[in-house]
Amino acid sequence: MEHTAEAQRVEAALREIGWAAHCTIAREQQVWARLSAEVDTRDDTVDDYTNDLCSRDYLELAASMAAAGLRDTILKELASADGRFRAATVEDSDGRLGRHFRIERHDGWWWHRRPSKGPLADFLTPGG
């Protein structure tokens, strides 16, 4: 990573507020990119899905804490993955995901979306 020292500073700050030691910017970018690319085809449980949504939370916080260079790098990576995620999901306007995980109104937009098709979409149908 181009901004190694800055990334280490941000990751240390995130650990201090409770994020797990295995969480890093690079790891969470990989998790988010993978979820975004496969959200409508993966055979995940709702717990797997919500766990991966936490990666997006981590990246949002990391970007907000980072100096300009690293922040720009994170946001550039997020833009591409976010676009894929939005394209493969639908607004969870009836709160289907919220039946399985506590989601607050103020949580990031990604918490208010669910897969548009695939195994998890089928699970999240009424009665699923």
Write the DSSP string, 43-93: ---HHHHHHHHHHHHHHHHHHHHS-HHHHHHHHHHHHHHHHHHHHTEEE-T
Tokens of residue 72, six digits? 């720009």
| CB of 36 closer than 8 Å to CB of 85 | yes
Domain boundaries, the chain: 4-123
**Is 128's pLDDT higher than 60?**
no
CA–CA distances in Å: residue 99 to residues 18, 54, 126? 25, 17, 10
The reported pLDDT for the residue numbered 127 is 59
- pLDDT band at residue 126 using 50, 70 and 90 as cut-offs: confident
The reported pLDDT for the residue numbered 1 is 52
**Is 28's pLDDT higher than 90?**
yes
- pLDDT band at residue 119 using 50, 70 and 90 as cut-offs: very high
Residue in this structure with the two tokens 């993955």, named with its chain if needed: 81
Q: Average pLDDT over the chain, rounded to whole?
A: 94
Model confidence pLDDT, tens digit, residues 76-108? 999 999 999 999 999 999 999 999 999 998 999
